[in-house]
Structures are given as structure tokens and as C-alpha cells.
């Protein structure tokens, strides 16, 4: 493989600049020795461990994609279990923020993407 170089201008002082040819590390893993996975933007994590729910509150506000770990659901399809978990999440957020949430009107599974 042929060596690759890049020309760089280094500023040493207010009126002094020096040009230099610097080696550029190009390999199968990508520029600079980083893997292409590290170079690309990270992808959104898969939702394999979570189930998402849309929640509508009595005051008309809505939260989308509220995540609940599948291990907490434990295969339960009962809305009461989901409601209890989301109410506990709301309570924790209310304690931390000082802004309580209203009562839950309805809960539905989020549409798959």
C-alpha cells in the first residue's frame, strides 16, 4: 500500500507559520486506525429489552414511547400491571422535578416501527 501524506500548516506564533507533510494512516479499518463503526454515527438501540406505551392523561396531555422493561412485564398483558409501573415512573419523576403528573386516562402499546 502506498503511503499517504497530508500537507498541514502549523501556526507557531502570531506571524510565523510552518508547513509540513504529515503521514496519513489509512488502513482497512479506516482513516486514523479507527474502525468504521466508530466513525459512523451510532444507531438507535434496538427495543428488544423494552416495550413502549403511549399514555394519555386526564388533562389531555400525552407521553409517547414510555418504555417498560420486558422483565418487569414478565409476560403480563394486563393493563393494571402496566398502569402500576407507569404510575411508579411518574411518581419518581414528580419527586425529582417537583411537578406532579395528572391521573392516567388511557394506556396503549406504541405502534411498531
The residues facing 27 across adjacent strands are 30
The overall pTM is greater than 0.85: no
Q: How far apart are CA 9 and CA 19, in angstroms?
A: 4
Q: How far apart are CA 50 and CA 70, in angstroms?
A: 5
Residue 103: what pLDDT?
93
Dump pLDDT digits (tens) for 51-100: 899 999 999 999 999 998 888 887 666 788 899 999 999 999 999 999 98
Which of 38, 21, 20 lies closest to 29, judged by CA? 38
Cell of 64: 409517547
Q: What angle do CA 58, 64, 69 make, to 5 degrees?
A: 110
Amino acid at each position: 500500500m502506498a503511503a499517504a501524506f497530508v500537507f498541514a500548516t502549523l501556526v507557531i506564533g502570531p506571524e510565523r507559520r510552518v508547513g509540513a507533510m504529515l503521514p496519513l494512516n489509512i488502513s482497512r479499518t479506516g482513516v486514523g486506525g479507527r474502525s468504521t463503526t466508530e466513525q459512523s454515527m451510532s444507531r438507535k438501540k434496538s427495543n428488544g429489552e423494552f416495550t413502549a406505551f403511549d399514555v394519555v392523561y386526564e388533562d389531555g396531555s400525552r407521553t409517547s414511547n414510555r418504555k417498560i422493561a420486558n422483565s418487569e412485564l414478565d409476560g403480563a398483558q394486563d393493563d393494571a400491571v402496566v398502569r402500576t409501573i407507569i404510575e411508579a415512573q411518574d411518581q419518581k419523576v414528580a419527586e425529582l422535578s417537583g411537578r406532579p403528573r395528572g391521573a392516567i386516562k388511557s394506556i396503549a402499546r406504541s405502534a411498531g416501527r
